[in-house]
Chain A
């Protein structure tokens, strides 16, 4: 399956992926409406190190997902190769946050747990983060 992979050596730490993500998942058709004067609601996180290392972290779509195995509500489920969250079932108990070794989940504004769903839930072909990355620091491919 195609996943988002990180080419850390090319990440500039510009954080555009976070904003492109927030926009893509905002239901707005304008980034300004989606992001202006709002707290950033992104499913991808850039980590910045003082030594100039930057890289993105989003859901790895693990083959052995600890989030799913820890979910108390049966809200996290496997859909083919992807891991998804059933918003109606999530009770925001944070068990998945406790379990995910990548720190890839975070609550959304809708008060349910959120994670990267590779933009399959917002009608895109390529994840917005990858499309907007200026330096191919994140790619969407099979590995």
Chain B
């Protein structure tokens, strides 16, 4: 096409008084934004290629760079925003689906930010976590309704397989392929150090990571990539992926270009072939079908590992969860619509699903109402951004949370939302060897461990403030939450009172 309607979204601002032409920006930009112009003897840039990932800014030793949003604008229009117009240009040009990565950036309400946490004053005094024991350990899995004793009268506590977490946080599913070997290794190493779990996603388990099996959740998704008996046995738990918050109702598509080398081997598909995960599991059209897969997996692993069923938060999530709870699953993972993705159609990501806060509250209530809450543990994900989000999620009824975007941010992700380009400058969402090596798992795992330790400290502080010394006593403790700026309907769904009530 002769005319290009797509104008640069960002401007690279270089302070030439500070720039020493060391060219680190040039060497570190996989998008080829910067280059040294020998004629002019200075660095210049092509900002149309910039995705605002900040790699150059972070590595510039003289802080000579910043990336700003271009103020180049269309004529103001509240309805026809620049983004809407540009997207039409793009699609009119390409005829294709607009792809997007990571969680939706749209301005939907974030209920976490409209919920406030309680603290004790005078009565029921607060607890100082630095002086008194504070329990953040949780067990995930089916809990028996009544205490079972053996022939000697001792309590039997290993009736059903459980996942033991030192902190109620797990790293949620990201496949090897969507993220790099080093990103996976960072997650695996950190999980081991933290006494928590990471999740393979549906890319299979690289043979190097079998040693992290006791801290690995192995996923079985609709494409069944990388699934084989040793894979199932390697993990601490098995997760059936029914849906993903960022793209409920659709499958996945990892382009053949990324199915190279070990990725192909680990997924057990030929190099260069597209990895297409179907929208549904073609063997699951009912809760009964799901139950069959749950029990197939339990059978395959000799009933030693809990089975997780992961669903996206959609309109009827509570009814779906109720069904899943009856399928024999030990844990239900619910993924909210703000959850991340390595690649999804923007239209789906930005418009399908519901917020995790509402989904969690309604699922927890429904399961309690039906008397089956103890049959399953609830793990929620889809944009858990801080320790406060975790405290609120647990008080709304979750047993633990899944984090992925937060973990990637700890690894250096700057949320440039260009994962689908495969040119992740931070070595996370890429398979390009020169980029993958940018993430040293020794550094990455340390950052993850630091983050979770920091959050653990904060969770203890907040629990202590409420006079609670155990996560168990916080779970579903909605009295500890108050809404702010929420409608009566929203408060009802969340099952919390308004601030001041």
Contacts and interface: CB of A to CB of B under 8 A. Distances in A.
| A and B in direct contact, judged by CB atoms within 8 A | yes
Interface of A: 9-16, 18-20, 23, 31-32, 35-37, 52, 132, 134-137
B437 A9 contact: yes
26 contacts: A12-B434, A12-B438, A14-B24, A14-B28, A14-B59, A15-B22, A15-B27, A16-B22, A16-B24, A18-B22, A19-B20, A19-B22, A19-B61, A20-B61, A31-B61, A31-B62, A32-B18, A32-B20, A35-B20, A35-B62, A36-B20, A36-B21, A132-B61, A134-B59, A135-B438, A137-B440
Contacts of A52: 433-434
Contacts of A135: 437-438, 440, 443
B442 interface: yes
Nearest to A12: B438
Nearest to B58: A134
A19 B19 CA distance: 12
Interface residues of B, number: 20
A11 B438 CA distance: 8
A12 B17 CA distance: 26
B66 interface: no
B23 interface: yes
Interface string B415-454: 0000000000000000001100110101100000000000
A128 B79 CA distance: 54
B59 A16 contact: yes
Given A31-B62, A36-B20, A13 B27 contact: yes
Contacts of B27: 12-15
Contacts of B18: 32
Given A12-B28, A14-B24, A32 B62 contact: yes
A136 B61 contact: no
A18 B24 CA distance: 11
Interface in B21-46: 21-24, 27-28
Interface string B267-284: 000000000000000000
A118 B59 CA distance: 23
Interface string B41-74: 0000000000000000001011000000000000
A12 B437 contact: yes
A129 B26 CA distance: 20
B190 to A, nearest CB: 16
B442 A16 contact: no
A37 B41 CA distance: 10
A19 B23 CA distance: 10
Contacts of A23: 61
A16 B27 CA distance: 10
Nearest to B438: A12
A136 B22 contact: no
B443 A136 contact: yes
